[in-house]
Chains A and B, each alone.
Chain A
Amino acid sequence: MNKPYFQLGDWRRNVLLMAAAASLGIGLPACSGNSDSNSDYAKTEGDWTNGNNDTYSEGVVTEMTEVEPGKWKITAERPAGKEQVAAVLKHFDGKVDTLQGEALQKQMQDYSRRYPENRVAGTGLMDVLMWGGIGYMAGRFLTPNLGAYSNPGLVQQNNAWRSRVAQERSQGRGFFGRGFTGGRTSPTGGIRPSTSVTRNTGFGSSRSSIRSSAPAGRSSGFGSRGGRGFGG
């Protein structure tokens, strides 16, 4: 018999728990480690629930894995709550930590100063992170680079999220993460956006399993059932 007993603290084991943890403020710098920082937590919490509408309505949690020493891939990515931005880092030696808040912001600022455009062939932690959902929110690219991901399904899965971010960007909303410093007036949290990055995703271009119109065939008409599910 299996013994599928899991400790509550073992939440990095899957991407849904990571996203839920981020939404509950677990692992974020203001409340990590000890409970004495609860007052800081409350203060930060107050800040981002004040209903600031100038920033994106959603955030993102990215899981990155060091598949070979120094070579990183994005292995999971989930939309998260407003201003909830974090990267869970699974190091080659098995160590897991979380990059977020001011530390994340500073690394992104440094990278964007050093590289006006994301490095296409880079495999370092920040090279790959900037190609993920976090970099997208900071305006670092328009078309995802599949090479940064361990599989293209991860990119496909968040198409809807990316289009919501793009739409909000066009409405003037900007990037800001919980624990970031500075005001929300900069649209990218002090990180320099890229000016010209466009890349082909390579998705769908050569597959015979793609059509521009519906194939001749049949579909169901359950819509008339009255709008309820029927699971058990």
Chain B
Amino acid sequence: MIKLLPLSGDVSPAVRGLGWDWALEDACQNYVAREAMQLPERSADALLQATDTLYDMLVQCIPDPIPDDLLRLLAVPENLWAAVRHSWNDDRHWHLYGRFDLAETPDGPKLLEFNADTATSLPETAVVQWASLVAANQAADDRQVNGLFEGLQNQLAQWLELNSDLEPSLLLVHLPDSAEDAANCAVVAEAAVEAGFEQVHICAVDAMQISVQGQDRGAWAEVEPSQWQRFPFVFKLVPWEILADEEPELTADITQLLQSRDLIIANPAYTLLFQSKGILAWLWQNFPHHPLLLEASLQDLPGHYVRKPLLGREGQNVTEINNGQAGETIEGEFADQPQVRQRFAELPQDAQGRRYQAGVFWAGAACAIGFRRDAGFITNLSEFVPHIVA
């Protein structure tokens, strides 16, 4: 049973002070819970250890060279295959971070999925959950599993060092009109400055200009009126498969720039291998009955399981199936995709029957934990719950 600690105090000055009003908007009024989950240190250790082990397993299970069949099985768009292979084969393409969504079961943590490409909830995890406890006057020696900023900083410093032949300028792009995604980019930008990048600039992805011509080859953005700057480093909070599907010509240009080292992008295209939920079936095949995995397959399973689109996002089109009967489902725009089936895992509950899912951030190693809760499936709208190590 999940134990909760009510939080008094008002975190909103800290959130507004950072310009993250989206986290307080009416639609998200209860987005950050006014309670903290009491997380036993033993459970926290188990989640962190599971994350490190799972990342190693992911890397191990990708054959070298990457076979076409695997790319097909994972539903990686064909126009990304070159970028996926190129980034996988060249270690300078550095996976900065991702978030493992884990279920804490009586048999230990189980992998639900890995948000390897465009994981969000950075501001909530790195700052807001800390500020929630401080605003509530929790003791200064109370602890939280929260090394996210430092983890990002270390990874960004490593990325920069691996690519020291490139000018240390980083452009961070997000899908247009999303204050939330812009704030996620802002956290990475702060960490990048601390990591040694000399210039950082955040803008909507549509404002990024990709040129493949002569001297102008590269990614450009207008940093001040009538001043365009070339950025060799790009951090994109835009899913690779959406880029490939909706902007195929741009994707081709970007791939060309990656191959000619005019551009380096994080997270790299190969993270789509891990992001695809097809990897859950592939992992089960490579590590059958591994204690951190739930049984998964691209075919129907007997009994109680969950079906999800391979490249779905935010919980869309996830369906619970029990003995052939469809149960709870979430509407969405990914219904046409191939689907993976994964054994149903019950999430731990609190006294009110709300379910808790752990999001463990990996940035070179497991570095921070945040929780989401909901009465039903966990989606991007589920409440974020701060934690305190008990």
Chain A residues in contact with chain B, CB under 8 A? 1-9, 11, 13-17, 19-26, 76, 78-81, 84, 151-154, 156-157, 159, 204, 208-223, 225, 227-232
Q: Which residue of B lies closest to A14 (CB)?
A: B149
CA separation between A3 and B145, bound complex, in Å?
8
Nearest chain A CB to B191 CB, angstrom units: 8
Contact of A217 among B14, B174, B197, B210 (CB under 8 A): B210
User: Is B220 part of the contact surface with A, judged by Cβ < 8 Å?
Assistant: yes
Chain B residues in contact with chain A, CB under 8 A? 11, 13-14, 16-19, 41, 44-45, 48-49, 52, 99, 115, 117-121, 126-127, 130-131, 133-135, 138-147, 149-151, 153, 167, 169, 174-178, 180-181, 184, 187, 189-190, 192-194, 196-201, 204-213, 215-216, 218, 220, 222-224, 226-230, 237-239, 242-243, 246-247, 249-250, 253, 275, 313-314, 365-368, 380, 389
Given A2-B367, A154-B193, A218-B249, answer yes or no on A228-B175 (Cβ-Cβ < 8 Å): yes
Q: Return chain B residues, CB-CB under 8 Å to A15.
A: 190, 194
User: Across the interface, do B127 and A17 meet the contact criterion of CB distance under 8 Å?
Assistant: yes
Q: Return chain A residues, CB-CB under 8 Å to B243.
A: 220
User: Across the interface, do B13 and A81 meet the contact criterion of CB distance under 8 Å?
Assistant: yes
Nearest chain B CB to A89 CB, angstrom units: 17
Q: Return chain B residues, CB-CB under 8 Å to A229.
A: 120, 174-175, 178, 180-181, 237
User: Across the interface, do A20 and B209 meet the contact criterion of CB distance under 8 Å?
Assistant: no
User: Across the interface, do B209 and A214 meet the contact criterion of CB distance under 8 Å?
Assistant: yes
Q: Return chain A residues, CB-CB under 8 Å to B181.
A: 229-231
User: Across the interface, do B198 and A151 meet the contact criterion of CB distance under 8 Å?
Assistant: yes
User: Across the interface, do A220 and B201 meet the contact criterion of CB distance under 8 Å?
Assistant: no
CA separation between A221 and B250, bound complex, in Å?
10
Contact of B220 among A16, A154, A215 (CB under 8 A): A215
Give chain A's interface secondary structure class: loop
User: Across the interface, do B120 and A219 meet the contact criterion of CB distance under 8 Å?
Assistant: no
User: Across the interface, do A212 and B193 meet the contact criterion of CB distance under 8 Å?
Assistant: no
User: Across the interface, do B247 and A216 meet the contact criterion of CB distance under 8 Å?
Assistant: no
Given A8-B139, A16-B127, A220-B205, answer yes or no on A232-B117 (Cβ-Cβ < 8 Å): yes
Q: Return chain B residues, CB-CB under 8 Å to A8.
A: 130, 133-134, 138-144
Given A1-B48, A8-B142, answer yes or no on A212-B227 (Cβ-Cβ < 8 Å): yes
CA separation between A79 and B190, bound complex, in Å?
12
27 A-B residue contacts at CB 8 Å? A1-B49, A1-B366, A3-B45, A4-B48, A4-B150, A5-B44, A8-B144, A9-B141, A78-B190, A153-B197, A212-B226, A214-B209, A216-B213, A217-B209, A217-B211, A217-B212, A217-B253, A218-B250, A220-B238, A220-B247, A222-B206, A223-B204, A228-B175, A228-B178, A229-B178, A231-B119, A231-B184
